[in-house]
Amino acid sequence: MKTFKHFDAESVDHVLAILARYHGKTALMAGGTDLIGVLKSEILPEYPKIIINLKTIAGMNTIKMVDKECRIGATARLADIAASGLIQKIFPALAAAAESVGSPELRNMGTLGGNLCQDTRCWYYRYPDKMGGRIPCYRKGKGPCHAVKGENRYHAIIGGKKCYAVCPSDMAIALAALDARVKIIGPGGSRLVPILDFYNVLCTILNPDEMVTEVRIPEPGKNTVQAFYKNRPREAVDFAVVSVAVRLERTGDVCKDACIILGAVAPVPYRAVAAEEAVRGRRLHEIHAADAAKAAVKDARPLSQNAYKIEIAKTLVKRALLSF
Amino acid sequence: MIQTKNRQKKAITLTVNGNLHKLNIGDQPHEISPSYTLAQTLRETLGLTGTKVGCDQGACGSCTVIMDGKPVLSCMTLAIECHGSKITTIEGLADSITGKLHPVQDSFVKHSAFQCGFCTPGIIMASKSLLDRDPSPDPHHVKEALSGHYCRCISHYQVVEAVMDAADKGGQADE
Amino acid sequence: MNETYRFIGKGTPRKDGVDIVTGKARYIDDVRPGPMLHGKVLRSPFPHAEIKKIDTVKAKAAPGVRAVLTHADVPPWMTGMPRHVKVLDQRVRFVGDAVALVAADTLEQAVAALDLIKVVYEKLPAVFDMDAALAPGAPRLHDMFPGNVVSDFPAFGPNTLSKVVRGDVEKGFKDADFISEGTFGYENFANPLPIEPPGVIAQWEDEQRLTVWSGTQSASWHRWIMQSKMGFPDIRAITTQCGGSFGSKNYAPQCMFYAAALAKATGKAVKVSYTKDEHFGAFVLRLGSRFCGKIGMKKDGTVTALAGEWMVDNGAFSDMSQSQIAVGCGEAQLVINCENWNLSTKLVCTNRCPAGVIRGFGGQELESAFAPLLADVMTQAELDPVEFFKKNYVKPGGQYIWREGNLWTCRGKDYTKAMEKGAAEFKWKDKWKGWLKPTSAEGSQRTGVGVGIHGNADVGEDDSEAYIRLNADGTATIHASVSESGMGQRSSLCKMAAEILQLPLAKVHMTPPDTLVNPFDFGLVGSRGTYAVGSAVIDAAEDALKQLFGRAAPMLGVQSQDLETRDARIFVKGKPEQALTWSKAIGIMRSVTGYGEFKADYSVPNFLILFVEVEVDTDTGGIKLKKVTTATDAGRIIDPPSLHGQLFGALGSAGLDTAIFEETIIDKKSGHMLNMNLTDYKWRTFNELPEFNNIILETPFPTHRFKAIGIGEISTSPGPGAVLMAVSNALGKPLHEYPLTPDRILKACGKEKGNPK
């Protein structure tokens, strides 16, 4: 790996000061399981001059309830989130999402913030530089999205525009269904952004002088149920082909409210509003689950090789809804 | 305005298999670069080549070592970030004086739970760590704990047997 | 009756076991023969281009750089069949092909220097599949191969098989009750992908003497085969422990060229160790294989004729493809006993990563392409495939033309009983419901079963030599050029020698895999370790004993044939008190050396049948492998855990899973390999293991001293076709594309549109 300067962050303010001083020449490192791969393969034309280690910021890895809100620090490890009694009890969908990431070793290293901010897995984007040169593309600021006319089995079926790479984060999908917000701190202070607004087509809304410090999840109502389903080619060390996170509020077997989020189908976590409508106010019998499944993918416009993801998305929505 | 200490560490200390190492950060031959991974540092700087690098991208598990009680991928860990850590590698499992194998190692030999053996150190470290946390896992737990470990020869079946056998023996190697 | 043995057949710890579990075992990246430079390769961004200009000035001036080599200044060494691959060429033929070489003091400096080499390319049109390569006017990859068809090559002598012509196919088709015809491919270019990337360290001792260390499967190949490619230097080849090979690392001609060229240019030892990216993108893949033809069969399952063309895609260049075609042609005859053949072959080059030697060696590729055709004709005849395979594999007395072109009569064993026992364990008769019928169907979960067979007459291929030195201290040293890449064969050879010499296993050792200290051996290929290498070692042990007894007999006042030995003592048979130590017989300043050899024998094929049960989810297109049973006859098991390991290997090394998820994905416009990492290249994890049983019979094979035969290689080969059959049955629809991705499964389920209406 090419070298860089390495700073241990002492505090959030310290990070902000470094970001401000070395504007755009830095990379934030938490677990490193994504960033180190990006650096080793030299997939990006710009190589960071400075790596800032966030793990040294005291207290940024905690999981706690504060005022009916769960706060998870950005450097909390995925393994700790998956194993947390609190998370398992109150946010089982999030525990399941955390448990589905990578492998036990990767979960021991990877963090919540890192999972949310990881770069896409698009194989054109991640083509290693030393195998003939990195591949310029729209996402890198130059050229088309090669997936459109190329190999696109894992790319977006919904909402692709100019770049069809999908958001690889499993945690984002579960968190979106749980109505979580991301705490971002920058030079102008802090803000809380709903997960769905945290992403844009080409990554996240984070400015180069900002960082994620925490995620806040409201405690769900008493009659809430939730589930996370992930389809992937391999039962470990794999990203989602399609994932679904569902949160339902119900009275008896009638669904009062629903939040249905699809992962890996779009450049950002996709809220299937039509599917939510299809189940809202109705009994959860198979027929409605099937309606919701259909509605979930109504906006799908698959590329040449990924229409199969539509079928998988429908299946996952149906199975998730019928799991309660 | 906060005073920023924009300084890189000058040196780190690591406890590897019980031995304390002080390593200077820099670009001289005896120093480690800030970009050195833990795997590189163990292998190249400390000469502990038992830790293997397979994919070098965190997807094969062969570089697994135990750091502060948990199995981690040394190829995706920067050495500079391991300052103060306690690390156990495959070289640190057997008794350093008598050479007596750790029960998991012993069981792997007994079951020939390897073919080419390249993935084996990583698998053993993950297995040892599992048994430290859960002395009587069921085969499902063993498979889950090893799910990030790539073995192309397919030693899996014999590995699961070996780990279960080591667990059954309560972590005691046969005399 | 089987003899009873002291070591043979017992599971004994691998002799390298403790080294492996303690991290002491040394692989190529662990050895430091001395100070060395690091070599790196600049790789092509284009699938096909002419290098117009290379500017290396800046790279040469960069810190630590000791040499930069281009096509203009590399040695004139050549590899390939026929010779058509240079160390570096002015033409690049796949994305990732080598353009220039750098040697520097550190790896980081070598990598940094790559960025300083400026290359001007003239892009050429490229072809990524056989159709494009064979189309009129297609760009030609190599001047010497018009139409991109690689010429035949006498890899195994003048009559090397490049076609199978036997009997009268016209008559055969007339006699057939059923005929199937079609074109089917096995073109997913799977990667055997041992965990350890290849690496070579080279050092010139003088002008003519080259030492190479490598993490490969065969020291011999790096001497005897590479010598002919490099102008016959005296090569000393040493192999370290090898982190998996599956044929692919029998040798590494490119890595060795690069390291040796850089070592020559710098006068220093140079190490070229591939990254995993390079291992994926610029080493070796399976051959692409396509069969276009027809098969005729009678109602009773007798195959009456087989005709067609086998098209083979070897990528940018051919290293041993013609050898694989020859063996594939032979292996097809072993599993389809038919009097009338007209099988032709065509070897084609395309602008992708080259193919190499891989477990399955031609046979897996041909049989996997052929599987759908076989399934179709059996479907027509409503024949149980197990019955078909039992009927049609070559039995003792049956004949086949082997790779070198000779007609052989099988002297092996009847595998019918093994196949039946396997079927019984698998409960085939309960699970088989007929062609295109699921074993069970419940909601979206459908299960199906399939079966495949493979055989190989290479178990006695090529020649072997071995020495055994008996030492006065009561130890024995085997000199044989055998590397350890996972089969445990070095331990098994010690066991065979220990059994003959009646020494404790701990007293029998092997020299390191180093061609300087060992005689010729062709290496561990084609399952030849047990029969070929084993026989040479046994022969050497017996020769050594004969000499030992020759010395001891006069001392004990008896004839040689009256003696026996155990634990380094020599006894008169029946009179254990009349004894002598080896030390006395040999003399403390002497040793006894026995010589053994093995001459190639292609008359004893092995076979393996493999059953699979799959569960298909028709709503996600996912395939779950539920159960695998293999059944074979090993004659006599030398080391049970090692043999079981080889059979479990059906799930590894681009075997069975090439039908489910393994494939190399290449962009069809740019030629970039897209899934060259272990996240995107799919592999089976610990938590997706099927139930797996091995049924191993031990019917004595008289051809071997311990009645054994090798089995290891063939376990990967029957899997892909068996999975295709099982999934087809589960879904009730014939499927014939590899691999069966969710996309293909859902299409077969009529859900290809997917879009909500």
Class of the CATH-defined domain B11-92:
alpha beta
3-state secondary structure of C113: helix
* Mean pLDDT of the region A249-259: 91
User: C-chain residues within 8 Å CB-CB of A314?
Assistant: 619, 754, 756
Residue of A149, A151, A236 lying closest to C674 (CB–CB): A151
CATH topology for C462-598? Aldehyde Oxidoreductase; domain 4 (3.30.365)
* Mean pLDDT of the region C24-39: 96
Residue A24 predicted with pLDDT over 90: no
Number of Cβ within a 10 Å radius of residue C320: 28
Residues forming CATH 3.30.465.10 domain(s) in chain A: 59-117+169-218
Q: In this structure, are residues C246 and C653 in contact, taking their beta carbons and an 8 Å threshold?
A: yes
Provide the β-strand partners of residue C155.
C157
* Span B116-163, pLDDT tens digits: 999 999 999 999 999 999 999 999 999 999 999 999 999 999 999 999
Q: Hey, what amino acid is at B163? A: V
CATH topology for C31-124+195-281? Aldehyde Oxidoreductase; domain 3 (3.90.1170)
Q: Nearest-CA neighbor of A317 among A177, A169, A165?
A: A177
CATH of domain B103-168: 1.10.150.120
Q: Can you tell me the distance from the alpha carbon of A7 to that of B116, in angstroms, rounded to the nearest whole number?
A: 40
Which of left, alpha, beta for C61 (phi over 0: left; psi -120 to 50: alpha)? alpha
Distances (CA, A) of C268 to C34, C104, C254: 10, 10, 19
Mode of pairing for the β-strands spanning B86-88 and C234-239: unpaired
Give me the helix-helix angle, C489-501 and C640-648, nearest 10°: 150
Q: Which two tokens stand for residue A45?
A: 């034309």
Give backbone dihedrals phi and psi of B156, rounded to 5 degrees, phi first: -50, -50
Burial class (CB in 10 A: 0-12, 13-18, 19+), B95: exposed
C20–B144 C-beta distance less than 8 A? no
Closest chain A residue to C100 measured between Cα atoms?
A: A132
Q: Could you say which of 3.20.20.70, 3.30.390.50, 3.40.30.10, 3.30.70.260 is the CATH number of the domain covering A224-321?
A: 3.30.390.50
Mutate to test the interface with B, among C22, C196, C276, C487 (most CBs of B within 10 A): C22
ipTM of the complex: 0.97
Residue B64's pLDDT band (cuts 50, 70, 90): very high
Q: Where are the alpha helices (DSSP H) in C356-514?
A: 363-381, 385-392, 416-426, 428-431, 489-501
Q: In this structure, are residues C300 and C266 in contact, taking their beta carbons and an 8 Å threshold?
A: no
Q: In this structure, are residues C419 and C606 in contact, taking their beta carbons and an 8 Å threshold?
A: no
User: B-chain residues within 8 Å CB-CB of C687?
Assistant: 140, 143-144, 147
Q: Nearest-CA neighbor of A236 among B144, C660, C275, C325?
A: B144
C752–A231 C-beta distance less than 8 A? no
Please tell me the predicted confidence (pLDDT) of residue C1: 42
* Mean pLDDT of the region B32-53: 97
Residue A92's pLDDT band (cuts 50, 70, 90): very high
Q: Which two tokens stand for residue A37?
A: 């791969």
Q: Could you say which of 3.40.50.300, 3.30.110.30, 3.30.365.10, 3.90.1150.10 is the CATH number of the domain covering C288-459+603-748?
A: 3.30.365.10
Q: Which two tokens stand for residue C219?
A: 């020291």
Residue A100 predicted with pLDDT over 50: yes
Q: Can you tell me the distance from the alpha carbon of C191 to that of C87, in angstroms, rounded to the nearest whole number?
A: 23
C96–A131 C-beta distance less than 8 A? yes
Find tokens 């020449």 and name the residue: A25
- Would you list the domain boundaries of chain C? 31-124+195-281, 288-459+603-748, 462-598
Does A27 touch chain B if contact means CB atoms closer than 8 Å? Answer: no
Distance from CA of A298 to the nearest CA of C (A): 6
Distances (CA, A) of C222 to A286, C239, C254, C458, C713: 64, 9, 11, 21, 21
| List of residues 6+ apart from C427 with CB closer than 8 A | none
Please tell me the predicted confidence (pLDDT) of residue C534: 97
Q: Can you tell me the distance from the alpha carbon of B56 to that of B41, in angstroms, rounded to the nearest whole number?
A: 14
User: B-chain residues within 8 Å CB-CB of C677?
Assistant: 55, 57, 59
Q: Nearest-CA neighbor of C518 among C461, C485, C472, C469?
A: C469
Please tell me the predicted confidence (pLDDT) of residue B171: 59
* Mean pLDDT of the region A122-127: 98
Residue C399 predicted with pLDDT over 70: yes
Please tell me the predicted confidence (pLDDT) of residue C318: 84
Distance from CA of B170 to the nearest CA of C (A): 19
**More confident site: C313 or B175:** C313
User: Average model confidence (pLDDT) for chain C?
Assistant: 96
Residue C757 predicted with pLDDT over 90: no
Distances (CA, A) of C159 to A159, C321, C334: 60, 16, 19
Please tell me the predicted confidence (pLDDT) of residue A201: 85
Residues forming CATH 1.10.150.120 domain(s) in chain B: 103-168
Provide the β-strand partners of residue C119.
C54
Same fold, C31-124+195-281 and C462-598: no
CATH of domain A59-117+169-218: 3.30.465.10
Residue C753 predicted with pLDDT over 80: no
Q: Can you tell me the distance from the alpha carbon of A165 to that of A124, in angstroms, rounded to the nearest whole number?
A: 9
Q: In this structure, are residues C348 and C148 in contact, taking their beta carbons and an 8 Å threshold?
A: yes
Mode of pairing for the β-strands spanning B11-16 and B86-88: parallel
* Mean pLDDT of the region C78-101: 97
Q: Nearest-CA neighbor of A248 among A202, A296, A215, A282?
A: A282
Find tokens 């799991």 and name the residue: A323
C21–B90 C-beta distance less than 8 A? yes
Please tell me the predicted confidence (pLDDT) of residue B170: 73
* Mean pLDDT of the region C628-648: 97
Segment holding C606, helix H or strand E: strand C606-617
